[in-house]
Structure 1
Amino acid sequence: MYQNKPRGGLLPELDNEQPFQPTFVEPIATALRQLKGVLGDVLHSVYLSGVIAHRKAGEVEDLPLTLVTTRALAVQEFSALNTVKFRIEQSSDAVKRVQIDVVPLKDATNLANIFRWGFFIKHCAVCLSGDNLARSFGHFEVSWEVSKAMNDDLAPRMRELRQKIALATKWGTQLDAAQDAAEKLINASFGLVAYKEQKWAHDLVSASEAFLAHYPDKSLEIERLFYLVERKRVKKRAVVDLMDSFGAWILSEYARIDRKIG
């Protein structure tokens, strides 16, 4: 799973050469063909994260892809990516959902974003296609700066997902947004303790366990977030209330810790 671990507490990077589990080989290949067909030379490189990248996948998993592009995409290109997502989800029983994030090359390589994109590309993903930017970055250690950078989009992301839930007219749309919100909140909660743990959690269970070791009084909130991860049908108001209250608490903790460390 990992390449040889570097010295001195620095994190390892995922092994780019280890084969994926057989059920995900064809969906990944299909995704790459379709992404290249849609974006062509605009596509600089493609990265896979999550449990499939860590070779710990179950029978059915999400397929989280990060695209580095040579320029910002147009509205029509984002629309085409949605079509790609739909086709892969419909054609593979092994893929629950396809998640596609897009970052322009100039942002991914900007030193101001090194604790976000540098860390993610080096330690949280494998390169599926194109020029592997992981070679451009040295190994990182888990630090407060990394935790902040990896979760600095929490507030706008919660606003976006909150609106999706409010406007949802079908359970599928609501459950997707609620699951995304819950996963984001669990990962953000882990960010509060990662620098103490001196490790990075790549799955929700280990992230929540590390968090609760430091904040045991938040066990009820974590339990309710896992209801949403499991896509249980919960009324909109209850979902939004949980997002608002726990999200606000996490943001206040980030601010408190930042003042303390800074």
Structure 2
Amino acid sequence: MADTALGKGLDGQGYIAREGSLALVSDDFRPVVAAARDRLLDVFGARMHSAYLYGSIPRGTARVGHSDLDLLVVLHAEPTDADREDARVLGEGLDKEFRRIDGVGTLLYGKARVLSEPERHDLGWFVACLCTPLLGEDLAEYLPRYRPDSLLARETNGDLALLLPRWRERITAADSEEARRPLVRLLSRRLVRTGFTLVMPRWNGWTSDLTEMAEAFGAYYPERAEQMRAAAVRGYEPVGDAAVLRSYVGDLGPWLAQEYARVHGVKAPRPD
């Protein structure tokens, strides 16, 4: 097919352009971002190397009452269980106080891991291309530039087969519609992003919009296009439907994991 979207999300040299900016945060979400910045400093203080926003809020596409606040915090040392508990409490506090957001997700890593060679084309790429600096020194200065190639595809989403057993356990444990709804959102988004990176080198570009991702995927796998479009919708508007979750781990997920391994290979093992 002709790549009508050739170069989308890339700079003039064909590298993935960093998305997001504090300038794009809408007035609706500026108070919660300001509160997050202050509380991160209060909670982590000198232990924190840097902090970042990612997701719809720094891209300027967040919707009041529907979008979550996504944070990545880099500590000087590897995070402890106490650090993770601090991040959880901080997120719960923000979520309760600001009704304009629908949850808070905080990723917590040590600086050495972010800059490590095994994470160069996964966590490193994520920081360099998908994260907006909020506090501290920007680690993107120490990372390379990235192209939408097969190496990046393999190292970002080439671990779906490993995730499926864990997903099945979480689905079994989710015994209510309320418990299933965030799981539908999480799994929907991961499947759509994996489907997109499967075709990303051929599409030759980058997008974080789930709808665009699903359409890009469907152009190369029309027999699975409707499934992926439906998953993109649920990634934005999740429902706590057990049948949807079963279809993800019984059909779409296993097929996608197998096709991904065939096309790009399997993600290199990590120390943990």
Task: Tell me what 2:114 maps to.
Answer: 108
Which residue of 31, 54, 60 maps to 2:59?
54
Letter in 1 for 2:80: A
- TM normalised by structure 2 equals 0.85
Output the aligned Cα RMSD. Answer: 2.2
Contact 2:128 2:140 survives alignment (8 Å): yes
Contact 2:24 2:59 survives alignment (8 Å): no
Moved over 6 A (4+): none
Contact 2:70 2:106 survives alignment (8 Å): yes
- Partners in 2 of 1:57 and 1:237 — Cα distance? 28
Which residue of 241, 247, 252 maps to 1:241?
247
Greater shift in the superposed pair: 83-92 or 203-212: 83-92
**Which of the pair has the greater relative contact order for Cα pairs under 8 Å at 6+ separation?**
2
- Partners in 2 of 1:74 and 1:85 — Cα distance? 17
Greater shift in the superposed pair: 209-218 or 158-167: 158-167
Contact 2:185 2:238 survives alignment (8 Å): yes
- Partners in 1 of 2:37 and 2:165 — Cα distance? 31
Task: Count residues with an aligned counterpart.
Answer: 255
- Partners in 2 of 1:224 and 1:10 — Cα distance? 30
| Identity over aligned pairs, percent | 20
Q: Which runs of 5+ in 2 are unaligned?
A: 1-9, 266-272
Task: Tell me what 2:165 maps to.
Answer: 159
1:14 aligned counterpart, secondary structure: coil
Which residue of 5, 23, 26 maps to 1:21?
26
1:257 aligned counterpart, secondary structure: helix
Task: Tell me what 2:151 maps to.
Answer: 145
Contact 2:218 2:224 survives alignment (8 Å): yes
**CA offsets 1:207-257 (integer angstroms, 9 cap, x no match):** 1010001111102322442464322231x2541232232111111111111
- Partners in 2 of 1:155 and 1:42 — Cα distance? 35
- TM normalised by structure 1 equals 0.88
Q: Which runs of 5+ in 1 are unaligned?
A: none
- Partners in 2 of 1:168 and 1:98 — Cα distance? 19
Displacement after TM superposition at 1:128 (Å)? 0.6
- Partners in 2 of 1:126 and 1:102 — Cα distance? 15
Which residue of 22, 32, 40 maps to 2:37?
32
**CA offsets 1:130-181 (integer angstroms, 9 cap, x no match):** 1101112232211111111111343344433332221123322211112101
